[in-house]
Amino acid sequence: MSFSLNSAITIPSLLALILAGPVNATDFVFAPAPVTGEFVSVGEGSGNIKLTFLTVDSESTTITGLGGSVAARRRIGQYFGLNFAGNILVMEDDAGTFTATSINLLAGPDIYLSENVIAFVDGSIGSTTSEIDTGFSSSSSTVDITGFSYGIQLILDINDSVKLTPYFMALEQTASTDGGIDVDISSSVIGLDVLINRISLAAMFQSSDDTDIVMFSVGTTF
């Protein structure tokens, strides 16, 4: 998650104190996408569950992690439906002194623009709790995220077994620290899901001025 992004504001954090440098608030935004790779008829639903690997590269550090995600939608009319997505991620920096757990949820309406194009608008919430342990002392911090996102996905049938689902998503969110600081964040996401029979392979990229987040996922549909 190159894009045209608003400049995010750096915030003081425990990680910044250890690394003697600023940590951007977008380090703590890990947006799930409400994307499924199967087009459904009225009254039907689709979904997927995935194992996710991610890397976060910022000016101050590199963080890697593992987690899981789920996305589901149900079509309730010719043009409308509902979607839900969520993820949980566990991360650690290269030095092993910084660890974090992030939980993120979103839900909202779908708009079926055609037989293979779906637009979506979602409200989102999330929370990331981080801990720093230097061996001499330890401390923790929490960043809560609220906001909304909107985007569009395509479902392209390659053949009877393979479907491609490219998508774009924009996010407008506010990060609130436990120190009482609020930061407005604008970001963009591009992604691609490849569905081979019931196996889902996915990649997502989110970027800001000084932070890049890359996620790779593998899973199955339900």
Report the run of H or E that residue 221 belongs to, with start and end. strand 211-221
SS3 (DSSP) at 8: coil
pTM of the complete model beyond 0.75: yes
Domain for residue 35, yes or no? yes
Q: In Å, how far are 3, 45, 72, 168 from 9, measured between CA atoms?
A: 17, 39, 33, 24
User: Among residues 145, 195, 147, 187, which one has the least CA distance to residue 169?
Assistant: 187
User: For 61, phi and psi rounded to 5 degrees?
Assistant: -165, 170
Rounded Cα distance, 210 and 69, in Å: 25
CB 185 within 8 A of CB 25: yes
| Number of domains composing the chain | 1
CB 102 within 8 A of CB 125: no
Domain for residue 2, yes or no? no
Domain for residue 3, yes or no? no
User: Among residues 18, 11, 89, 19, which one has the least CA distance to residue 56?
Assistant: 89
* Residue range(s) defining the domain that contains residue 181: 10-221
Domain for residue 4, yes or no? no
Residue by residue, pLDDT tens for the chain (222 residues) are: 333 223 333 333 333 433 333 344 445 567 788 888 888 899 999 999 999 999 988 777 788 999 999 999 999 999 999 999 999 999 998 888 888 899 999 999 999 999 899 999 999 999 988 888 878 888 888 889 999 999 999 999 999 899 999 999 998 988 888 778 888 888 889 999 999 999 999 999 987 766 788 999 999 998
CB 211 within 8 A of CB 24: yes
CATH code for the domain of 35? 2.40.160.20
CA 162 to chain centre: 24
